[in-house]
Amino acid sequence: MKKYFNRIAVVFLLLIVAACTATRETEKEKQTDKFLEKTEIYFKNQTAKDRFINGLIREEKGDYAGAILEYYDALNYDSSAGIYFALAKNYFRLNRINNAINNIEIAIKKDPKNIDYKLFAAEIYRYAKLFDKAKNKYQDALAQDSLNVKAIYGLAQLSEAKRPTEAMNLYKKLLKITGPRWDVLIAMADLSSRMGRLDETIEYTKKLLKINPSDPVLKKILIELYVRNGNYDDALKIVNELLPIYPDDLQLLEYKASIYVFKKDWKESYLAYEKLIQSSDVPLEKKFLIATSYINQFEQDKDTLLLDYAKNLMLQIDADTLDWRVKAALGDIYQRSGNNSLAVKYLKQAANEAEWNSNLWVQLGGLLFDIGKYKDAVETLSKVIDNFPDNAFLHWILGLSYGQLKDYENSKKYLLRAAKLAPNNANINQSLAFTLTQLKEYDEALRYLNLAKNINPNNAQIYGMMGMIYDDLGEWDKCNAAYERALAIDSTDILIMNNYAYSLSKQNKNLERALSLVNKALEGAPGNASYLDTKGWILFKMGKIDEAKKLIEAALKKDKSSAEVNEHMGEIYLKLGNKKEALKYFRRAKELQPDLKGIDEKIKSVGNGD
């Protein structure tokens, strides 16, 4: 919104300068006439009069130094106040302020009832920034003539900076004397704007328009004032009046679009902005900002239409530029819209055009990882990772992608680098700990988990992973303590519930609590094969073989690829005395995971299944 304040202030300032220039030119003409009149009245010596007229002639030619010499020559024959006034004027023109002040003060002393001398003295003092003295001269003039327009106007201008209310009252007094006056109304509109009195500024601007109803500059000021004041319909009315007259005025189109943005009419704002986008006179930077503004608005409103408008505008911009930022923005839009294939396409183009931009590679790699394209993420980031040796997030994403491909050695390599670059990032330390766990490097895994825990002590996932490690190590007290802490932090995490329940079943203790936990997990994910297996195994440990069998069968229908679930089914059939079926499931578990602990002994124990 600040742009409206600045623009209005600048326009009012330009109007004030123009008004003052016109006023000064008029005053100069009047002043010359007064001098000629006074030469007939005051000069009794013909030589003095001749020298004075010669001075006036030199003034008209711009020879102010020569005029001063003529006036000084006139003083040899006549010392009237008018000559000192003329000297003050020409010294002022030559910027010799002290000489101008000395001569005007002499003129005032010789003719103390001459208001023009006092007003000119005030002007000199204002120029010299001697504002108190200027104020005194204006007040002296008003003491003689309380309705003197120039004195009131000058005093109002002096009062604006420190006494704006007093200045405004003086301007109002002036209008009562003169009626509507262009320069005064401009000053009042500008002052009320700076004072934050928008309603008053609007009224003064409307009065200015009555004086000059066809002025497009004033109408644009009024548009901006209405927008600032929230009078969007009034602003739009003026815009619609002007557009048929100035159909190619880009500023009017921008006003229209902005007004519709304030009204949250996204369709109309888009249609207006589209015309701006299509104009070759609008710079790329502005077009880009317009399109991205819809993305920013989407962050607030979550209206997917905003993304459609942003996309359409960006596609039009993209057709006329090779700027990588446009492709990056399109990638971002498509990603937010859920069109991942096009998001990948444009992000790849942007990243390849701006290879130095690590953020683009992070976004692209992160997207590929999130949509399960782990191989593509590895291939993409492996080509550029050496260009960004100090970017922790690129190493993290690459390490995570290798981990999903079960290439834990490479995963460890890149996650170690990420952890070194960002030692205070809990997520990176936790990711590294998971990979180290898969490599059975439990001591190192626990070290990084402890680092993550110190950074983020209220992360239930960290404690859940600790529970899994202690479970593998058979350190049950530490295992249970870790799981209990995890659930104390987040009692709704169904994965931790399931893992803790399964750990308790392995320990063959607290089976009722284990059953309660897995039941809660299944409430959150009723068809989860792992959770069904956990419950079945708990029931098996509780001696409820038939119920256990049904659950393990249900788990296998969901997922036949788990070695552990197949092993459990073998155990159930073995318990039921069916060695043949038990052997079948033990062998299947062995095929799925050759290094499954204890599986060889179980196969050997059932023999041929007879």
Q: Are 235 and 226 in contact (CB under 8 A)?
A: yes
DSSP string over 251-302:
HHHHHHHHHHHHTT-HHHHHHHHHHHHH-TTS-HHHHHHHHHHHHHHHHHH-
| Buried residues in 240-268 as b, exposed as e (16+ CB within 10 A) | eebbeeeeeeeebbbbbbbbbbeeeebee
Given this model, what pLDDT does residue 27 score? Answer: 43
Find where tokens 């010669």 sit.
Answer: 54
Given this model, what pLDDT does residue 11 score? Answer: 47
Q: Are 540 and 575 in contact (CB under 8 A)?
A: yes
Best CA proximity match to 133, nearest among 103, 112, 154: 154
Residues 191 and 204: their CA atoms lie apart, in Å, by 10
Q: Are 539 and 551 in contact (CB under 8 A)?
A: yes
Q: Are 580 and 607 in contact (CB under 8 A)?
A: no
Residues 523 and 542: their CA atoms lie apart, in Å, by 21
Best CA proximity match to 514, nearest among 531, 489, 492: 531
98 token code pair: 């002290």
Residues in the chain: 610
516 domain-assigned: no
174 domain-assigned: no
Residues 452 and 449: their CA atoms lie apart, in Å, by 5
Residues 484 and 500: their CA atoms lie apart, in Å, by 8
Alpha carbon 578 to its chain's center = 69
576 token code pair: 């039921």
Q: Where in the sequence is the domain holding 606, given as residue range(s)? A: 560-610
Best CA proximity match to 159, nearest among 145, 144, 174: 174
385 domain-assigned: no
Q: Which residues contact 555 (CB under 8 A, 6 or more apart)?
A: 529, 530, 532, 533, 536, 562, 565
The stretches in the chain having pLDDT less than 50 are 1-6, 9-41
91 domain-assigned: no
- Work out how many domains the chain is built from and give that number: 1
328 domain-assigned: no
Alpha carbon 281 to its chain's center = 25
Q: Are 120 and 145 in contact (CB under 8 A)?
A: no
Q: Is 339 left (phi over 0), alpha (psi -120 to 50) or beta?
A: beta
Alpha carbon 362 to its chain's center = 21
Q: Which residues contact 516 (CB under 8 A, 6 or more apart)?
A: none
What secondary structure letter does DSSP report for 212? S
CA distances, 550 to each of 3, 377, 544 (Å): 71, 40, 10
Given this model, what pLDDT does residue 13 score? Answer: 44
Residues 249 and 216: their CA atoms lie apart, in Å, by 11
Q: Give the DSSP H/E element, type plus range, for residue 331.
A: helix 324-337
3-state secondary structure 333-382: HHHHHCCHHHHHHHHHHHHHHCCCCHHHHHHHHHHHHHCCCHHHHHHHHH
204 domain-assigned: no
Q: Which residues contact 293 (CB under 8 A, 6 or more apart)?
A: 261
Residues 534 and 365: their CA atoms lie apart, in Å, by 35
353 domain-assigned: no
Q: Give the DSSP H/E element, type plus range, for residue 88.
A: helix 81-93
569 domain-assigned: yes
Q: Could you tell me the maximum CA-CA distance found in the chain, to the nearest angstrom? A: 151
Given this model, what pLDDT does residue 34 score? Answer: 44
